[in-house]
Structure 1
Amino acid sequence: MVLKRRTVILLIILSMIIGAALSIAIVNWSNSIFLELDETGQEVLQEETGNATSFTDTDLKKMSTVFEIIENAYYKEMDKTEVIDGAIRGMLASLDDPYSVYFDAEQSKMFREAVNSSISGIGAEVTMEDNKVTVVSPIKDSPADEAGIRAKDQIISVNGESLEGLSLNDAVLKIRGPKGTQAKLKILRAGFNEPIEIIVVRNKIDLETVQSEMLENNIGYIEIKQFAEQTAERFYEDLEQLESDGMASLIIDVRNNPGGYLNVAIDLLDPLLEKGSVLVYEEDREGNRKEHITKSDGKPYSIVILTNSGSASASEILAGAIIEAENGTVVGETTFGKGTVQKTFSSGVDDGSELKVTVAKWLTSSGAFIHEVGIEPDYKVEQPAFFTVAPLPKDKVLALESVGESVKTLQIMLEGLGFNSERTDGFFDVKTEAALKNFQGKNGLLVTGKLDETTANEIEKQIIDKFRDPKNDSQLQKAIEVLSES
């Protein structure tokens, strides 16, 4: 998967955060950067730039002249601070690096406050791809996930306000909001010719980053939602419990995990691989590499990592290390492709403003740079079509000879529920009508052959139930199959 991303994780699930691709949850954009901001594991690494300057007299004269012209000749009175901040943002924008950004005093303050407060929002990580706000991944069981937001969705408007031309930060400010409020999103989705509308009710986000259970055949299952400060510790608490319960093999699920602290990924990986294995390299612009090598003895059981296009950054470090150490198998989809490391710096004046700058890239043990490429799984497995469809319309009736993406969604959902109309091209024909009548009849609904709000709600309810049933998770079932045969 090759993506040009301006990532901001719109949600970030831990107030202490995480992030990996610049995570926010469309909730409090400030939280957006903790990980990305500092994937070295430092919560806040501020470095003064010093007194030295590389500006020549000509450079300084040009900048001063432009500023004076604006100050004296522009037809409206300027805001000096905004002009200077704009110049700084312009310098960073010229790097053509979506991860190097400037935060003015207010934005930095919002970030710091968000780190220590509860978080509410829609629960999705976003980036900027081809000048469109693009979803990297919805957080599992978040409002965005439950409403049907999917990785690679492009958000073009919020509550009727277009996001075109806005920076990622400004777009996020429009998407976020307090608990209980609605974000009516207009979405562009691959495979749909028309925009679709999804309403998400903002809510507080579950801050638990690790969940586990024992599956059939003593297969342990641990889901990691993000790599936050305590994630490695929580992971090994759960792993120890599974091992004491007789676990024979392990599935680690990092699907829709936007990443997190580099050091947390390293701490989590270390005990899984044999001593002396290279986990990851950090490489600066001079080509100098810092290697991270395991110190533990590894695990004796088979491991499968589950990935999808929403698995980014620290999740990719995990998957890459497991594959290249030949200590496990990766099942699912190609990952997001985020391979750089950022640090925060003071802007040089005591006004609270900061810069986040990409300072290095990380490489797999073989030296591969996966940025904007991602990691290919050993077994590529796609989910059923109904996993990625949009919600059905509630404000209009679909009937015979209706045409459009909503009809296509209906046909895919009906097929997923076992009522096949023999087509998924978006044309409501007599077979689609017959399939819909069959569904209505078997579910005690008024049999009209038309999709009204009552029928749409029932179809979606049943689709969500199927979506949540592990038996319909093709990727998970493949992982279980691989471990059962090992």
Structure 2
Amino acid sequence: MEQDPGNKQPKKVSLTIYILSLIVVLVVGIAGTSLAVRGSDEQPESTMSTQPETQNQLPDELIQVEELYSVLMENYFEEIDSQVLIEGALEGMAGSIGDPYTEYLDVSESTSLQESTDGEFEGIGAEVMKEGEFVRIVSPIAGSPAEAAGLQANDMIVEIDGESVAELSLSDAVALIRGPKDSEVTLLLQRGGEEFTVTLTRDAIPVESVVYEMDSNDPSIGHIRITNFNRPTYEELVNAIETLKEQGAQKFIFDVRSNPGGLLDSALQISNIFVEDGKPLMQSQGRGEEPFVYLADSENLGEYKFEGEAVLLINEGSASASEIIAGALSESAGIQLIGQTTFGKGTIQNVAPIVEGEGEVKYTTGKWLTANGEWIHEKGIAPDIEVAMPEYQNLLIVNSQETYQIEDSSEEVANLNAVLEALEYPVGDSGDTFTEETQSAVKSFQEDNALEVDGVVTGSTATKLVEALRTLIESNDTQYEEAVKILSEE
């Protein structure tokens, strides 16, 4: 979860001043975060012009960095781009903390972050974080290529277009994943210890962060799904509630499943919709500080208040700002949580420009606590009513670029047999082998879907199997069904 990033003005500067600038802006950034926490729009002024510029006034550690820079620039056997050295030093400094949410962003990366918080970017549509030698998917975004391809929370990216992510920074990995609409990217992923490959076609990720509809069976229930928290989300949510009320909705299912989070301001505004003024929404705590309690406040966070019966759907992909909402609704508004334990991201990030540089630093500025003061980091928020999705939701994607046929035997074939069984095309005791029963099941599937009937799984047959499994999952949403049941009984 991030503070709203501000504007930046890139300039060029020497390494000495560049590193000093980094130190100064971290102090300024921390102060700025403290002010933002208290609802102020005031921006502290940089004191860069008063900083010393001579090397002998630098801390010893920075003198060493300056000396290494000079040695390499003057003596390396090939010419070096000074900007490469500078950015390498900044990336290393941020990465050395060991916090997956703290990183140096160059100009292109900070632009991508700005696009994400504005709700406008092109890519596969997945929130990710660096975890050891992998890039972990926190959650696919609703309506994105990642969701359509069946990517799930906690899938681990091993390679991007054949390049291992083990030595890549998170920013470098994201740069490889993102790209222009209609271009392709191939990911090698790991799920449950098994690896599989998927090729995705990048797209423009939907700008709208709220989608809504009336329940197809109960005309008194409205379903509102919040897919992320960016600047327009508050207005979109208010509009969704009012529109569904006009259509007859009296009870609501709010849904933050697989919502990776977003801006802190947006989370506070939306929490405020459901909580009575004066009650706590959440708490934040910086280094060496006592927790600061955010209270529901119509004057500063928005006048709209929700009235009516509601439940909130959560799952393991609900992270960060989604967890703030879950905590506020559960602890301060008495709204039941249904689904599975959330992701467990209990820290807040701020983005600060490097005063005289060409980038930004995104860093963890503190931790957030629920309304009652609980830190849910790496634990998550448990639902009031735990409901799992069907087991077939965790099946792997059938790789359309591979060919599976009679007598093949592998873990991928075992997954294929499980997919066929879930779609009610029985394969008997085939296990991890492509048996005659598998072949017969494939032919039946091909006949039912107007495909070439050859009993071989590749290309369009594999794609159609994935589409059919996705439709099955969507039509058997056990968590949503439980929410409808709960509201119908009230």
TM-score range (shorter-chain normalised) is 0.7 to 0.9
- Structure 1 window deviating more from structure 2 (438-447 vs 121-130): it is 438-447
Distance change >3 Å, CA 242–CA 393, structure 1 → 2: closer
Counterpart of 1:407 in structure 2: which amino acid?
A: V
**Gapped runs of 5+ residues in structure 1?**
1-6, 9-15, 17-36
Distance change >3 Å, CA 65–CA 318, structure 1 → 2: same
Report if aligned partners of 2:274, 2:333 keep a CA contact under 8 Å in 1: no
Task: Pick the aligned partner of 1:375 from 368, 372, 381.
Answer: 381
| Deviation (angstroms), 1:207 | 0.7
- Structure 1 window deviating more from structure 2 (119-128 vs 459-468): it is 459-468
Counterpart of 1:355 in structure 2: which amino acid?
A: V
Report if aligned partners of 1:131, 1:165 keep a CA contact under 8 Å in 2: yes
Alignment of 1:80-119 (within 5 A): 80-105=82-107, 107-108=109-110, 119=121
Counterpart of 1:309 in structure 2: which amino acid?
A: E
Q: How many angstroms apart in 2 are the aligned matches of 1:113 and 1:298?
A: 29
Distance change >3 Å, CA 241–CA 105, structure 1 → 2: closer
Task: Pick the aligned partner of 1:167 from 159, 169, 190.
Answer: 169
Other-structure match for 1:156? 158
- Structure 1 window deviating more from structure 2 (211-220 vs 292-301): it is 292-301
- Structure 1 window deviating more from structure 2 (48-57 vs 378-387): it is 48-57
Other-structure match for 2:319? 312
| Deviation (angstroms), 1:402 | 1.8
Q: How many angstroms apart in 1 are the aligned matches of 2:65 and 2:401?
A: 55
Report if aligned partners of 1:137, 1:151 keep a CA contact under 8 Å in 2: yes
For the residue of structure 2 that corresponds to 1:288, the secondary structure is coil
Task: Pick the aligned partner of 2:352 from 335, 345, 351.
Answer: 345
Other-structure match for 2:15? none
Counterpart of 1:484 in structure 2: which amino acid?
A: S
For the residue of structure 2 that corresponds to 1:387, the secondary structure is helix
Distance change >3 Å, CA 373–CA 55, structure 1 → 2: farther
Distance change >3 Å, CA 293–CA 76, structure 1 → 2: same
Q: How many angstroms apart in 2 are the aligned matches of 1:268 and 1:228?
A: 11
TM-score where L is the length of structure 1: 0.82
- RMSD of aligned C-alpha atoms? 3.3
Distance change >3 Å, CA 368–CA 422, structure 1 → 2: farther
**Number of equivalenced pairs:** 448
- Structure 1 window deviating more from structure 2 (322-331 vs 133-142): it is 322-331
| Deviation (angstroms), 1:446 | 6.2
Quick check: 1:214 aligned with 2:211?
A: no
| Deviation (angstroms), 1:295 | 3.8
| Deviation (angstroms), 1:285 | 0.7
Counterpart of 1:221 in structure 2: which amino acid?
A: H
Distance change >3 Å, CA 441–CA 118, structure 1 → 2: closer
Task: Pick the aligned partner of 1:365 from 360, 367, 371.
Answer: 371
Other-structure match for 1:22? none
Distance change >3 Å, CA 86–CA 255, structure 1 → 2: same
- Structure 1 window deviating more from structure 2 (400-409 vs 297-306): it is 297-306
Report if aligned partners of 1:46, 1:346 keep a CA contact under 8 Å in 2: no
Alignment of 1:462-481 (within 5 A): 462-469=468-475, 472-481=476-485
Alignment of 1:64-143 (within 5 A): 64-105=66-107, 107-108=109-110, 119-143=121-145
For the residue of structure 2 that corresponds to 1:315, the secondary structure is helix
Distance change >3 Å, CA 439–CA 42, structure 1 → 2: farther
For the residue of structure 2 that corresponds to 1:394, the secondary structure is coil
For the residue of structure 1 that corresponds to 2:421, the secondary structure is helix
Q: How many angstroms apart in 1 are the aligned matches of 2:174 and 2:205?
A: 16
Report if aligned partners of 2:133, 2:165 keep a CA contact under 8 Å in 1: no
Q: How many angstroms apart in 2 are the aligned matches of 1:203 and 1:389?
A: 24
For the residue of structure 2 that corresponds to 1:95, the secondary structure is coil
Report if aligned partners of 1:271, 1:295 keep a CA contact under 8 Å in 2: no
| Deviation (angstroms), 1:332 | 1.7
Quick check: 1:266 aligned with 2:273?
A: no
**Gapped runs of 5+ residues in structure 2?**
8-31, 299-303
TM-score where L is the length of structure 2: 0.81
Report if aligned partners of 2:253, 2:312 keep a CA contact under 8 Å in 1: yes
Distance change >3 Å, CA 318–CA 109, structure 1 → 2: closer
Q: How many angstroms apart in 2 are the aligned matches of 1:341 and 1:47?
A: 22
For the residue of structure 1 that corresponds to 2:392, the secondary structure is helix
Q: How many angstroms apart in 2 are the aligned matches of 1:159 and 1:269?
A: 40
Alignment of 1:196-211 (within 5 A): 196-211=196-211
Distance change >3 Å, CA 437–CA 111, structure 1 → 2: closer
Task: Pick the aligned partner of 2:420 from 411, 414, 433.
Answer: 414
- Structure 1 window deviating more from structure 2 (170-179 vs 159-168): it is 159-168
| Deviation (angstroms), 1:261 | 1.6
For the residue of structure 2 that corresponds to 1:171, the secondary structure is helix
For the residue of structure 2 that corresponds to 1:467, the secondary structure is helix
Other-structure match for 1:287? 289
For the residue of structure 2 that corresponds to 1:198, the secondary structure is strand
Other-structure match for 2:46? 48
Distance change >3 Å, CA 253–CA 431, structure 1 → 2: same
Other-structure match for 2:183? 181
Distance change >3 Å, CA 46–CA 109, structure 1 → 2: farther
Deviations 1:187-242 (A, max 9, x none): 112252xx211111111122111111221431121111111112111111211232
Other-structure match for 1:355? 361
For the residue of structure 1 that corresponds to 2:282, the secondary structure is strand
| Deviation (angstroms), 1:465 | 2.8
Deviations 1:396-430 (A, max 9, x none): 44234322232123222212212233458433345
Report if aligned partners of 2:430, 2:438 keep a CA contact under 8 Å in 1: no
Counterpart of 1:213 in structure 2: which amino acid?
A: E
| Deviation (angstroms), 1:340 | 1.5
Other-structure match for 2:149? 147
